[in-house]
Structure 1
Amino acid sequence: MRIVPFDGHDSDAIVELITTIQIAEFGVATSAEQQPDLRRIPEFYQQGAGNFWLAFEDGELVGTIALKDVGGGICALRKMFVKQAFRGRERGIAATLMRTLLDHARERGVREIYLGTVDVYHAAHRFYEKSGFTEIAREEVPDLVPLMDVDVKYYRHRF
C-alpha cells in the first residue's frame, strides 16, 4: 500500500471511487455534481494545514481522505472512503489514511478536527470513535466547517 498526497492525479478516478461508495453501496442521496470540491482538490483542500491523500494498492486507487483547513486551528475531515474489497483491520488502509491525516494535522498545529457523516456508515462511526473522535451535537460544529446536506452525525477530535 502507498499513501500519497494528491498531485495532479486523475480526478475522474477519485470521483468514481467516492460516488460509487456513497451512492451504489450505501444509497446516499448525493451526486458528483453536488461535490464540486472533488474537481478542485488543490484549491479546496491543499491550502493552509489542509491536504488530500490517496491510497494505492498495486497501482489501483483504493482509498481517499482529506483535511480541509477552515482557519483558527480548526479543520474538517472529509472524503474518507476505502473500496469495499480493501476494508478491514488486516489490510489497515483506513487506519493508515487516518494516521497520515492526524500526524499531518498535529505537525501543523491543528487544534480540532470536525466531521459530519451519514447514519448508514455504522462501521465508520466505530472507526472514528476508535481513532479518538467524540460524537457531538450539530450545534457544536463551527459554522465554517463544510458539511453535506445528508450529514446527520457529527464528530470532533481534539489534540
Structure 2
Amino acid sequence: MVEIQPIGNAYSESVIDLILNIQQKEFNVPITIEDQPDLLEIEDFYLASGGNFWGAFINGELAGTIALVKFDEKAGAIRKMFVKSEYRGKEYSIAQKLLEKLISYCNENGMTEIYLGTVSILKAALRFYERNHFIIIEKENLPAKFPLMNADNVFCFLNLKSKL
C-alpha cells in the first residue's frame, strides 16, 4: 500500500539518499548535494513560496518523491520526481500517484500551468510525462521566472486549463 504525504526538512536525509543514489549510481548524472541545496531546506525552498514536497511511502520506507516550486501565481515547476527502481512500474504506480497528487494540489490552489525540466537520458521519464499529456517545449518558450537547473536539457509543459 502506497501512502503519499507532504514532507519537510525532517525527511531531508532520506530524500537526499534516495535522490542521489538514483542520479549518481543509476543514471551516472554528474550531480552532487552541493548542486541541490534545496534538498537541505525543503520547507524554505518549496513550501514557503506556496509549493510543496511529497513523499511516497511503502511500509514506512520512502520509495519516491515529487516537488512543486511555485514560481508564479498560476505556474509551478515539477522537481525531484524520483522513484526507487524496485518500486517502479504499474504494480505500485508510485510515479502516477505522485503526479496526480501534485496536479490535484495545483488545481486546489488555482495553478493552471505546470512546467518541468529533465535530462534526455531519462527516456522512461519522458515517456511517462508524455503519457500524462505534457508536451515538449523549447527552452526559449519557458516563462522568464522558470527555475532552471543546469543539467536539464528537455523541457515539458502541461496546461491544466485544457484538462478540466
Match of 1:115 in 2: 116
CA RMSD for the aligned pairs?
A: 1.1
Moved more, 41-50 or 16-25: 41-50
Match of 2:138 in 1: 137
Alpha carbons 2:8, 2:42 under 8 Å: kept: no
Distance in structure 2 (CA, Å) of the matches to 1:137 and 1:34: 24
Residue 144 of structure 1 and its aligned partner are, at CA, apart by 1.4
The equivalences for 1:10-159 within 5 A come to 10-159=11-160
Moved more, 14-23 or 4-13: 4-13
In structure 2, give the amino acid aligned to 1:32. Answer: I
Residue 102 of structure 1 aligns to a residue whose secondary structure is helix
Residue 147 of structure 1 and its aligned partner are, at CA, apart by 2.1
Residue 157 of structure 1 aligns to a residue whose secondary structure is strand
Residue 43 of structure 1 and its aligned partner are, at CA, apart by 0.7
Is the aligned partner of 1:9 residue 2:15? no
Percent sequence identity over aligned pairs: 43
Q: TM-score, normalised by structure 2?
A: 0.93
Q: Would you identify which runs of 4 or more consecutive aligned residues in structure 1 move more than 2 Å?
A: 7-10
In structure 1, give the amino acid aligned to 2:12. Answer: S
Q: TM-score, normalised by structure 1?
A: 0.96
Uncovered stretches (5+) of structure 2, i.e. residues with no partner:
none
